Structure 1
């Protein structure tokens, strides 16, 4: 998973905001940006975690 550049994150927020018709107030943009950066960082950890080829999904998921 590639790391988006700083200006790409702002562009992404703007594009998704328009696509979803969900305006993001200027005062909230830093919080939205911070949450997106954390989500991308955590997603990258999951994406980079190598699993052996013989790994299979669990048949039953419980909480």
Structure 2
């Protein structure tokens, strides 16, 4: 089963948690912006990085 990200639910729940009132006339625009952010984030998260080993100490 593939999980889908419900942007509208995310916006509503996050606003509730942050006690942030979103004016109803702006809600659809806020959701549209978060849909764009989600699409960009998905591209970034899908980008494969090479495996590297972290250095144990910092040497400038």
Calculate the TM-score normalised by the size of structure 1: 0.70
* Per-residue deviation, 1:54: 3.0
Return the match for 1:51 from 49, 52, 55. Answer: 49
Distance 1:34 1:48 in 2: 21
Which structure: larger Rg? 2
Q: State the superposition RMSD in angstroms.
A: 2.0
Q: C-alpha separation between the residues in 1 aligned to 2:48 and 2:34?
A: 24
Greater RCO between the two (CA within 8 Å, min separation 6)?
1
Flag structure 1 segments of 5+ consecutive residues without an equivalent. 57-63
Partner of residue 18, structure 1: 16
Aligned residues: 53
- Matching residue within 26, 29, 41 for 1:28: 26
Q: Deviations over 1:37-58 (max 9, x none)?
A: 01100000110001111387xx
Structure 2: 5+ residue runs without aligned partners? 55-60
